[in-house]
Structure 1
Amino acid sequence: MFDAITIFLLMLTMVALIISSNYYMAIPTFALLIILFVIRQYYIKTARAVKRIEALTRSPIFTHVVASSSGSTTIRSANAESILVKQFDRHQDIHSSSCWFGVWLEMISVAYLTIVTLSFLILASLTDYKSSDVGLAISSVFNGCFSMGHETNKKPPKDWPKNGEIQFRNYYLEYEEKDVIKGITFDIKACEKIGIADTGAGKSSIINGLFRMTEPRGDMFIDGVQVNDIGLHDLRQAVSIILQDPVLFSGSMRSNLDPFDQYSDQDLRESLEEVELKNDIPALDFEVSDGGSNFSVDQRQLVCLARAILRKNKIIVVDEATANVDPRTDNFIQQTIRTKFADCTIITIAHRLNSVMDCDRILVLDNGYLMEYNHPHILLSDPNGILSSMVNHTGAASAVLKQVAAETYSGRRGSFRQENLPAIRHSISLASGQRLLNAVNETEATK
């Protein structure tokens, strides 16, 4: 309502200023308003479908770019660049067509600006205009908000986010015309460590919604700022993510750490030193091969960790960052996350339960609904709870997971996590391997 009133008053003021400067402009101005009203009536009927199409046609573009980047060597060797360019243009044309309403509004605005400008030239001999009136009328048209009635360009505060508090309110997320997140409402406090567990794919969908890879329904607030209203660049620069599969780009190490040249060389070196890579990377101009193939998996993950340290964001998303690294690197990454991001809000995606058992709270989703949200030890005290069922299905590892939850609940989180995490995961792996061996033996016995 605030946006609607603001834009309405701006347009009303613009029309009044133009007509007061040149009363002949009353006729095309009212014609313009009638045209905009008619176009709006057509648009409103299809707005939901257009938004859905726009979201669906955006995904092939991202997929095509990622596939082309990873397969660039093969594409060049086969001289297939022209084929890939045509495919990308086709995807982009389909996506752009869904923005046609905004294009029409801008075209009408330009036509109106042309009429206003020409009117002062053509009618100059009939009326004695002041140059200030001409400038005021033209600048008013430039400030017109015809298309802004549907999309705003709000900017968060420069120091946003300060605390890292996140609120979800009646939050829905749709994928292929089906709700995968269904009206969930919960809060994440500043500096809280949250784990997300799910019986399906809801945990990943929440992260997609957090970065607005898919536009959600409902409201999400970060430090009181409604995320739905701000630009994607402002949002995504404020949240760091450490992925399970680390991503490096071909180019220098400097461009991998700081692609937008926002930090000094000293800051970049310090971030590499924080993750113990200073001796492995001789210079910031060191060339990184396609996908970081000249680095080990452990080193690539540490570079991604250095990126997150460098940005100093208050919200960190950890997508099972230690799944593919050795126990020593696993322990180092976990310890670094705990120390360097101690005053940050951390959201951890639970592909394996042992990675979230020491969190402050675990959010449990089932079929898109929020079912449980509390400290893991409290949730495990309910034998009929969903988290209890998930832990019990781990077999011999369940006792270790419950012990971790109990230890963290009693306030001994730091020492327990840092010293014993590799041993815990090793125990869980052994337990899983023993269950597999038992299953094979049972099958052989049956035969």
Structure 2
Amino acid sequence: FIMNSVQEVKLFGERLLHRELQYQNVVKLLEIYSSGHDISAAIPYIIRYILTPSKSTSISNDLLSLSVDAVISSPNHSYYPQILDSFHTLMQSTNPEHLRIVLSRSTSLPFSATRTFLSQHSSLIISLANHPHPYLRRAAYRFALSCINRDRALTFPAPSSDPSSLSLSSHLQQNESQIRVILEKIVLMICEGTLDEDDGVSVGCLRGIIKISIGSRGTAPLKSTKDALATSIWDLLLANIIPIGKRMDQLESAHIEYKRDAQRSLALLSAVALSGASLNVEKVTVGDKNLNFENNSALNNVTDHSELMKLKKWAVEWIERRLLVNISKHEEILFSKESTDSHTIETVRSFILNCYNLLHICGKLCLDEEYSKFKLKWTQKAIASLVKVLSTFCADSEQLDTEKVHNSVQLDIPKSSSNFFTKNFHLKKAHDPSTGSDSSVMM
């Protein structure tokens, strides 16, 4: 099929009148879009024949999902009021799948459409954090994260490139302060989600909010807003590092990626806690769960040193009890005769990630004399383990397919840490009495 005109797209839209042909015609429209063509001319027909209140409650979930995909695929049009009206109807549905479909696709809405959708449904989205179905909670948290993780904060005027701002001009009556209050509630909702009973929800919230806080800092436009967001997120997470740490220690999922993400997130929190930052902590109780999630108040000018020491104490204990133990455990597995090649690849990946996490913490560790002994101990442990394992497997190509390991180990290392070795330590040869050979250690 080669699209020559808007009329041909409209033709497929008109065919949606026939209910038995709706599915195949929506699929055809998406195929046209995937070929690089605009299908916005079909949006009024999709809304009229599929997404109107009288029709959307009785169609299959598959058709609904494809139809929502179709109406948000081509952004340059003026049908956003009608699309948001359809989404509003679907968000009132008693079918949890309808809510999940709309929330998952709404992450792709342009700036003004996202802001309007959020202001219309913020209370419902926040309440979905307590929904009994984990998959619906995940959809709510993903949309919440997409509202925060933006180059341009939703409190700012729409950019000139926003295709939805003109058609939604009559909808954009939200006060900036009202949007800010909604976003503050959304941030608190996400942080509270790190304690969710579902492993996927809790790890996803922790990973997502930390990713936002790290990516928020920089030299991009609106830097002050991004810095303020990053600071507020770190304050919330650090004030609750102990319950978050306990929750991550209780992961029961078989997904190894969940455990890796949890380990890395806690390592980043530990690095910040041990970096010498001061905290102002004020206890508050939020949400229906009464989780006693704490909030760091920027208005409180009195630094609570006992809270700061508690955070540092937790970080040291977590590193000693979890991170170092895991590195030693992986090292033991790698030298076990029972280790298979596929098992070894996964173990090497986890091992290297944990060693990097430990080195990253050492690079951020404050210069207090009290913690200098830990810096030396942890650095020596990470480097000695890395040298021992990598030198062994690099020397024995038959024991491990190094190309597979290279392809499977993908480290997302922050630029600020890329010169960690050259800035903080130097290598020197040391004699290893256990092997009778020289090895490089970090001093």
Superposition TM-score tier, normalisation by shorter sequence: under 0.3
* TM-score normalised by length of structure 1: 0.26
RCO higher in structure (CA 8 A, sep ≥6) = 1
* TM-score normalised by length of structure 2: 0.26
Q: Which has the larger radius of gyration?
A: 1
